[in-house]
Structure 1
Amino acid sequence: MTSGSDAGFRLTGRKVFLIFLAFFGTIFAADAFLLTSALRTWSGLEVRSPYQAGQRYNAELAGAREQEARGWTMDLDVRRAGDEEADVTAIARDRSGRPITGLAGRASLERPTDKRFDRAAGLVETERGTYRAVIEGALRGQWDLVVDFSDQHGERLFRRRSRVILP
């Protein structure tokens, strides 16, 4: 006759080893999945050289002070032009409200979360002080609109960054 306790579950060395393998195998598989996902979706650095960006910081501050001293204003408008196009309009005025003409401009739509989707186009003066660009590849969602204006020598005179949502 056998007792009821002999017919029950027995924890053997082999079962402990299999439980050990299953536990650490699950952790290893999850870590491998997370690591490969992170490497595939990494969008890169914000700037190519953070050290050089830090060195240019004082120059950026000086440029911002010069921009503020000019007293220019910029009215920006972004509208959906097609399924994957955005129409950007920038109206530039000086301190007294007169249109600013003859500038070279560039409009960029930058994804806050993934720089691989950034898109840009040159701004063209369509009327006195009114500049337009059509940016292709502008998907729905949240973007940073960056508008830069420079003189004929390429020196940046004005920069404006705005958060926009394309429906």
Structure 2
Amino acid sequence: MTARAAKPFTFTGRHMLAVMVAFFGIIIAVNFTMAYLATSTWSGLVVANTYVASQQFNGKTEAIRQMLATGINGELAVKRDGIRYHLTLPGNVPVVADSVIAHFKRPVGEHQDFEQVLTPAGDGVYLAEREVLAGSWIVEIKAEKDGKLVMHEAHRITVSGE
């Protein structure tokens, strides 16, 4: 019987190449996965100029605080075939506005966005008959009376496909 001595392990250039390919392969795979998830699932708002939007933020926030201090309240209901918006002051006092406009925006993309003028139906209720596609929407509503903004709010809603 011949006893064969075990050859000690020698780390070669091929081993180093395998380690580097595995290491950088994992990093590249993770980066591509994250990039895909970021572009396919992002649901933030898009503004034309982020710098200008950031400069206007504090002024808009203060105007909304003053508006909400009046106690004004809007209730939005959206179904596939129409839009209903009820605008009231404390004590369920209806708000009569000269114009109420709802701007529907998809969270990502602009090709399905639309603006809808709501018509008064009495007692602070404003309606519109329009087909609204199923899915997620950001609805920005502006109500004006005598040229002054009395309500400006945004809702993120989901319209069911039924």
State if a TM-score over 0.5 links the two structures: yes
The counterpart of 2:149, out of the listed 148, 153, 156, is 156
Looking at structure 2, the residues matched to 124 and 45 of structure 1 have their Cα atoms a distance apart, in angstroms, of 24
* Alignment-derived partner of residue 12 in structure 2: 13
AA in 1 matched with 2:60 = E
Give the gaps of 5 or more residues in structure 1.
Answer: 82-86
Q: Aligned-pair RMSD on alpha carbons? A: 3.7
> Quick one: which amino acid aligns to residue 96 of structure 2?
I
What does 1:120-131 align with in structure 2 at a 5 Å threshold? 120-128=114-122, 129-131=124-126
Corresponding residue for residue 88 of structure 2: 93
Question: Secondary structure, in 3 states, of the residue corresponding to 1:156?
Answer: strand
Please state how far the C-alpha of 1:23 moved relative to its aligned partner: 1.9
Equivalent position of 1:33 in the other structure: 32
Equivalent residue for 2:79?
79
The verdict on how the C-alpha distance between 1:165 and 1:106 changes in structure 2, with shifts beyond 3 A counting, is closer
Q: TM-score, normalised by structure 2?
A: 0.64
Q: Secondary structure at the match of 1:55?
A: helix
CA contact (8 A) 1:75 1:92 kept: yes
C-alpha distance after superposition, 1:98-121 (max 9, x if no partner)? 45142141243553xxx3267343
Distance of 1:44 and 1:71 partners within structure 2: 28
Summarize the Cα distance change of 1:28–1:74 in structure 2 as closer, same or farther, 3 Å threshold.
closer
Report what 1:60 is aligned to: 60
Structure 2, unaligned stretches of length 5 or more? none
After superposition, the C-alpha distances for 1:1-20 in whole angstroms (9 at most, x for unaligned) are 461625xx854524323422
Match of 2:48, SS? Answer: coil
* Conserved? CA contact 1:75–1:90, under 8 Å: yes
Count of residue pairs the alignment pairs up: 154
Label 1:37 to 1:16 Cα distance change in 2 as closer, same or farther (>3 A). Answer: same
